[in-house]
Amino acid sequence: MLRTRRIRKTRGKRQRAEGPINRRILISALCRLRLRSRPDASDGFTLIDLLLVILIAGILAAIAIPSFSSFTAETRLNEAASELVSGLQYAANLSIRYQRPFGVIADASGNLFRVYDNRYRNDSSPHHDSDPPVDANGVVLNPLDKNWYLKDLDTMEALRGVAITSGGEVIFYPDGHSSSAGASFVLSSGAGQKTVSVDGIAGRIRVK
């Protein structure tokens, strides 16, 4: 009888001791499960993070795209002005070298310009055996790309969007002067504009 009471007391003590332990184990397990269910920074971005990134990227794009477009238009306009100036300078150099007139025609309706030998200006036949060789209407060879010196701005990718809004013609003579007292050509791209002018007396070329 005494032994039975001792066994019951011992079991009661064990049960009382194991009760808090079991509760602690259960609480610990629940905490671990809760932590696992929480998003961790190492797992990646949350939906809010992604939305913020998209919003910021949209704002930056809205600011950058107009500036980039304006920069591109200005770059193409400068390139077109450089092409026209090169053509004018080449015509002036040819007139001194061959001691006869050479000219440049800029056609606003066709959006192109050409450098020509004035002897064959109105001659539709090519003269490839002349010095220098010329194509129809006296168009001379471009010394850089070895093609006929006719620049169609609409077909040149680097000059896309640039237009000759005011054309004309200028002829250079061996003594350095040109046929016009103040010839000018206007190039436009977007809101930008460049004016290439030729001083009739000195043959000086300016861009503004």
CB 169 within 8 A of CB 183: yes
- Looking at the structure, tell me whether residues 134 and 184 fall in a common domain: yes
What's the domain count of the chain?
2
pLDDT in tens, 138-172: 999 999 899 999 999 999 999 999 999 999 999 99
Whether 64 is covered by a domain: the verdict is: no
Whether 56 is covered by a domain: the verdict is: no
**Residue 153 belongs to what domain range?**
72-207
- Looking at the structure, tell me whether residues 78 and 141 fall in a common domain: yes
Rg (CA), the chain: 41
CB 174 within 8 A of CB 152: no
Q: Which of 94-98, 142-146, 180-184 has the highest mean pLDDT?
A: 94-98
Please indicate whether residue 115 or residue 1 has the higher confidence score (pLDDT). Answer: 115
Q: Under DSSP, is residue 109 helix (H, G, I), strand (E, B) or coil? A: coil
Q: What is the CATH number of the domain that holds 162?
A: 3.55.40.10
| pLDDT of amino acid 43 | 56
- Looking at the structure, tell me whether residues 94 and 197 fall in a common domain: yes
**Res. 82: pLDDT tops 90:** yes
- Looking at the structure, tell me whether residues 187 and 145 fall in a common domain: yes
- Looking at the structure, tell me whether residues 33 and 77 fall in a common domain: no
Whether 161 is covered by a domain: the verdict is: yes
